[in-house]
Chain A
């Protein structure tokens, strides 16, 4: 009886989950087996899973974004949190707000500012010009576009990780820190040997969140470098689907991205365990 009642109360949530999460995934998998522009449809089996060079490049770009954004966002957030940890509560609050503010700015608006800074006659080229370097088309090729986008995203999302990691640090059991201090440990040693190991799960969670989010970046790429050489996996899916109307191959890429993301999440869980 109890289990039936529990099932009854769970039903709305299960229906919503099925309608808005499971059913789209099933539809996505079905679409990935078709060649379609929604005008014509043809079942092509697994042909869409032979990823084209553009899609492969988008996954490689995503790997670069992960490699740059994990230290940029999670690592940068950790460094700022470590610096802010030693400040008074008032200054800690100030640091939280100051670093979180960029996250509140609309991406489309802040992208215009970055675009101007990295334009041919912008501040970035003025700066490199001091060292005798010719102006660079920062968003004109992957070698420069991906690092610049990673810097922009790191600066704009840093605040979230500062808040998460600083909260974890201030919640470390004070008695352990006091004990270490009584044993003569320096502040640096306390941070290195007590606080960081204690908050390692939170650091790992932040790093995983960044790694999962990196292949899904879209807004900044779309506004600053909407080209193949800077495409993330999500941007490539969008381009394939809505610019070239190749919805089947876009769906296949989305399925691959879903599986990779799910695999990374499971792997992270196992490592943590």
Chain B
């Protein structure tokens, strides 16, 4: 091993004498995200003979148009850095270099954090810290209904709380939120599916879904219909969008619902500007409730990844070096600060200073991250299939069992 490292070091030193170009196509996460600038400055200081060319992704339409155009013209960048919805399309062995032998600090990553990015033993992408969801509890509502969320709460506990909310507010506030007018609410289905023990895929196999295995998915849809018929969610949830959902949350109308820590301040600010609330309500994050037989509910998480284009030349080595700088401890700390993300390196504290992020980190530590196929190259195609079925479920136009069959068939068609 020592010999291999020595040879690699000598080879790198030799390569640095000649110089090279490394290009990166990237998106950043808001004005505070200066990771790229910092990493490139540090990288070019250490390797002055290497030129780094930056290209910013045109995200105006949320597609991979920029990257696909570069690919078509034979000018694909050496590094593609973007959210998983898009970067997963390039985590295929025909395009991506295996990062295992190229990343020197691979041992610094937390156990399991690279599993979903490893396909047939090859590490095809390097994940940045991801933001994870928990169930966001409105503590003001809990005080008003006199309810305390128990540790490791169950679906029965949740329904008890839901009835108290219903009795107290009579349709002015609700136990939880739901929307089905667009595809953005897939995280709601995901969270509740895992609450009932449903899994999307067998480990590492994204060729077909496993949601129809067991009764979890049907139980989830039955639960959704209960929420709708008992008035535990807003009326007409089938017709609501993500905008309605976030606005209702910010106005303090949900007792307990899925949310990202990073979303809170922005929506609170809007709600206060519009006069909906005077000040932010008190919140706490807890795991999603468990159905009988479910030990722990994993968290839904979304993040970004870096993919290095396989060229078979020295550029792969340089690109991997830059990726190391882009995802080092300093970069991860920065992303944790600006996005309330959960770090995936052991040299970054697992307990962030922000109290809400710390609560999420605790939930993730106990339950892990759910596998919804984010690293599968077909993930983007699977997202739009759920909401038309959810609409039918919420309006009672389909039985839970038929909904599961329809969802399974639609998912499998998208995965082909």
Q: Which A residues lie at the B interface, using CB under 8 A?
A: 37-40, 119-121, 134-137, 139-141, 222, 227-229, 238, 241-245, 247
Q: Which of A120, A238, A241 gathers the greatest number of chain B CB atoms within 10 Å?
A: A120
In the complex, chain A residues whose CB is within 8 Å of the CB of B387: 140
Q: Is the CB of A38 within 8 A of B68?
A: yes
Task: With A139-B181, A222-B61, A227-B384 as known contacts, state yes or no: A120 contacts B71, CB within 8 Å.
Answer: no
Contact B388 A141 (CB under 8 A): yes
Kindly state the separation between the CA atoms of A121 and B381 in the bound complex, as whole angstroms. Answer: 30
Distance from B391 Cβ to chain A, minimum over Cβ atoms (Å)? 6
Supply 8 A–B pairs (Cβ within 8 Å), ascending by A: A40-B94, A120-B244, A140-B180, A140-B238, A227-B384, A229-B388, A242-B64, A245-B64
Is the pair A120, B380 in contact by a Cβ cutoff of 8 Å?
no
Q: How far does the alpha carbon of A136 sit from the alpha carbon of B236 in the complex, in Å?
A: 8
* A-side contacts of B270, CB under 8 Å: none
- Complex Cα distance, B61 from A148, in Å, reads 22
Given contacts A120-B244, A242-B65, contact A137 B238 (CB under 8 A): yes
A40 to B72, CA, bound (A): 10
- Judge whether B63 is part of the interface by a CB distance below 8 angstroms: yes
5 smallest A-B Cβ distances: which pairs? A137-B239, A38-B71, A242-B63, A137-B181, A135-B236
Least CB distance, A58 to chain B, in whole angstroms? 14
Contact across chains for B183 and A227 when beta carbons are under 8 A apart:
yes
Are A119's CB and B241's CB within 8 A?
yes
Q: Of A119, A137, A228, A247, which contacts B391 at CB under 8 A?
A: A137
Specify which of A120, A222, A244 is in contact with B239 (CB 8 Å cutoff). A120
Specify the chain B residue showing the minimal Cβ separation from A52: B413
Residues A120 and B236 in contact, CB atoms below 8 Å apart: yes
Residue of B nearest to A40 (CB): B94
Q: What are the residues of chain B within 8 A of A229 when measuring CB–CB?
A: 388
Indicate whether B92 reaches chain A with its CB closer than 8 angstroms.
yes
What sequence of 0s and 1s flags, for each residue 375-413 of chain B, a beta carbon within 8 Å of any chain A beta carbon?
000001100100110010000000000000000000000
CB neighbours of B238 from chain A (8 A): 137, 140
List the B residue with the shortest CB-CB distance to A238.
B63
Distance (whole angstroms) from the CB of A62 to the closest CB of chain B: 19
Q: How far is the CA of A140 from the CA of B184 in the complex (A)?
A: 12
Q: Which residues of B contact A37 (CB under 8 A)?
A: 68, 71, 89
Residues from chain B with Cβ under 8 Å of A39 in the complex: 71, 90, 92, 94-95
Residues of B within 8 A of A120 (CB): 181, 236, 239-241, 244
Chain B contacts of A135 at CB under 8 A? 235-236, 239
Residue numbers in A under 8 Å from B89 (CB-CB): 37, 245
CB distance from A148 to the nearest CB of B (A): 13
Q: Is B182 interfacial (CB-CB < 8 Å)?
A: yes
A244 proximity list for chain B (CB < 8 A): 380-381
On whether the beta carbons of B181 and A241 are closer than 8 Å, the reply is no
The chain B residue with its CB closest to the CB of A38 is: B71
Q: Mark B159-181, 1 if CB is under 8 A from A, else 0.
A: 00000000000000000000011
What sequence of 0s and 1s flags, for each residue 67-106 of chain B, a beta carbon within 8 Å of any chain A beta carbon?
A: 0100110000000000000000110101100000000000
- Other A-B contacts than A139-B182, A242-B63, A244-B381, 4 sampled, CB-CB below 8 A, are A119-B244, A120-B244, A135-B239, A227-B384
Q: A120-B244, A135-B239 are in contact. Are A245 and B391 (CB under 8 A)?
A: no
B243 adjacent to chain A (CB < 8 Å):
yes
Given the complex, which residues of A lie within 8 Å of B380, measured CB to CB? 243-244
B41 to chain A, nearest CB (A): 31
Contact A228 B384, beta carbon cutoff 8 Å: yes
B-chain residues with CB within 8 Å of residue A139 when the two chains form the complex: 181-182
From A121, A227, A245, A247, contact of B244 by CB (8 A): A121
Contact A136 B65 (CB under 8 A): no
Chain A minimum-CB-distance residue to B89: A245
Bound form: Cα–Cα A40–B377 in Å: 14
Residues of chain B lying within 8 A (CB to CB) of residue A245? 64, 68, 89
Q: When A121-B244, A243-B63 are in contact, do A227 and B94 touch as well, CB less than 8 Å?
A: no
User: Which partner residue on chain A sits nearest B179 by CB separation?
Assistant: A120
Q: How far is the CA of A121 from the CA of B243 in the complex (A)?
A: 11
Chain A residues near B63 (CB-CB < 8 A): 238, 242-243
For B182, list chain A residues within 8 Å (CB): 139-140, 227
- Nearest residue (CB) in B for A116 is B243
Closest to A241 in B: B68
Give B216-259 as 1s and 0s: 1 = Cβ < 8 Å from A's Cβ atoms. 00000000000000000001101111011000000000000000
- In angstroms, Cα B384 to Cα A241, docked, is 16
Question: Which residues of chain A are near B95, meaning CB under 8 Å?
Answer: 39
The distance from the CB of A15 to the nearest CB of chain B, in whole angstroms, is: 21
Question: What is the CA–CA distance of A140 and B384 in the complex, to the nearest angstrom?
Answer: 12
Q: How far is the CA of A11 from the CA of B380 in the complex (A)?
A: 46
Residue of A nearest to B86 (CB): A243
The answer for the CA separation of A247 and B64 in the assembled complex, in Å, is 12
A39 to B244, CA, bound (A): 39
* Distance of B75 from chain A, by nearest CB (Å): 11
